[in-house]
Amino acid sequence: MAAASTPSVSAGLMPKPKMTFAQIVNMSFGFLGIQFGFALQNSNASGILRNYGADVEHLSWFWLAAPLVGLIVQPIVGHYSDRTWNPN
């Protein structure tokens, strides 16, 4: 039943581009660099927050804020990005 609901190319919709193995590896190395950047930033985040005046007792709230915001924002972004390839 799922095959009947998928749009066809003849309906005027563009198919998703296929990536080669080399393109996937190249993209993965880019994401690896991003992860290193995040790790370096996070290793200094507590010290930076303390320099801005955050109490050591409240640093856990700062670390908890980002995942909670992501829990709310990510489904919204995902909903709109799903409409990138299929406007229905």
pLDDT tens, residue by residue, 19-66: 899 999 998 998 999 999 989 988 898 898 899 998 989 888 888 988
Greater model confidence, 37 or 84: 37
Reading the block at residue 36, the tokens are: 């290193």
Reading the block at residue 8, the tokens are: 């066809």
**pLDDT at residue 36, rounded to an integer:** 93
Instruction: List the one residue out of 35, 54, 34, 36 whose CA is nearest residue 46.
Output: 54
CA distance 9 to 6: 10
User: Structure pTM?
Assistant: 0.44
CA distance 13 to 68: 36
